[in-house]
Amino acid sequence: MSRHATRWVAYASPPNLYRLAGRLVPWFATSAGLLLALGVFLGLFVAPTDFQQGDVYRVLFLHVPASWLGMWLYLLLGFYAALGWIFKARSSSMMAAALAVTGAMFTGLSLATGSLWGRPAWGTWWVWDARTTSTLIPLFLYVGFITLQSAIDDPRRTDRAGAVIAVVGLVNVPIIYFSVQWWNTLHQGATIRVAGETTMPGSMLTPMLIMVAGCWVYAIAVVLVRLRQLIHRRESIDGGLHGS
């Protein structure tokens, strides 16, 4: 194994991961603040008014990043929970627990901002269509995962039980993504595509992408803060954490 690979493997140790996270948090937090401030400014004051929806469409500058983060953070949650379960890796299980709160927050924000946009667009705050319903399910899964973390005292039992919920819930992620293609839904189709033409004009796309980047960097910062708290709590109990 190369020296660089050995260095990264060493960060699987909770004390080493604790110290690495502490060094990274200020950088990610500062970057998140700058990106979000720029994205909000461009989204509110530079992006033009939509000729069909008016200014109400600007809620999508937060709704879209929140929706993406809620979905992708669940994928990471399932990955780390499974990794911790299969290999009995404490750091992976604690990373899954750290991701859960942030993922739940972004999923709830996605549903809330979607309702704000849906009221003028659809004439109602909520519709039980494929996209909104499939987005609601991971919120329940996040809450169930978090509740288990609080209800079970034994960390090993907690990690196993949480991993079951996380892995089973992964089935819902592709349903969220493809729901607008598989079923007839009120929710509009994707306007930003990795493969294919993006239908959003550049003046709107730029602040959207900046907000996506800002939300991602913010998520990394708060997950690392939460991870440090979990490591400190668990490893202090086990007597395995020394220094900061």
Residue 192 is predicted with a pLDDT of 59
Residue 100 is predicted with a pLDDT of 97
**Average per-residue pLDDT for the chain:** 85
φ, ψ of residue 197 to 5 degrees: the values are -80, 135
Rounded CA Rg of the chain: 20
The neighbour count for residue 157, using CB atoms within 10 Å, is 11
For tokens 């901002």, name the residue: 113
Residue 188 is predicted with a pLDDT of 58
Band (62; pLDDT cuts 50, 70, 90): very high
What is the DSSP annotation of 7-41? HHHHTTSHHHHHHHHHHHHHHHHHHHHHHHHHHHH
pLDDT in tens, 124-159: 777 777 778 888 889 999 999 999 988 888 888 989
CB 73 within 8 A of CB 102: yes
Q: What is the spatial distance between Cα 212 and Cα 93, in angstroms, rounded to a whole number? A: 26
Q: Does 106 have pLDDT greater than 90? A: yes
Q: Which of 215, 188, 202 is nearest to 40 (CA)?
A: 215
Q: Which of 228, 235, 135, 149 is nearest to 179 (CA)?
A: 135
Q: Which of 134, 132, 129, 68 is nearest to 103 (CA)?
A: 68
Kindly state the tokens that stand for 115: 């309702």
Kindly state the tokens that stand for 62: 């937060």
Higher pLDDT, 184 or 30: 30
Q: Does 108 have pLDDT greater than 80? A: yes
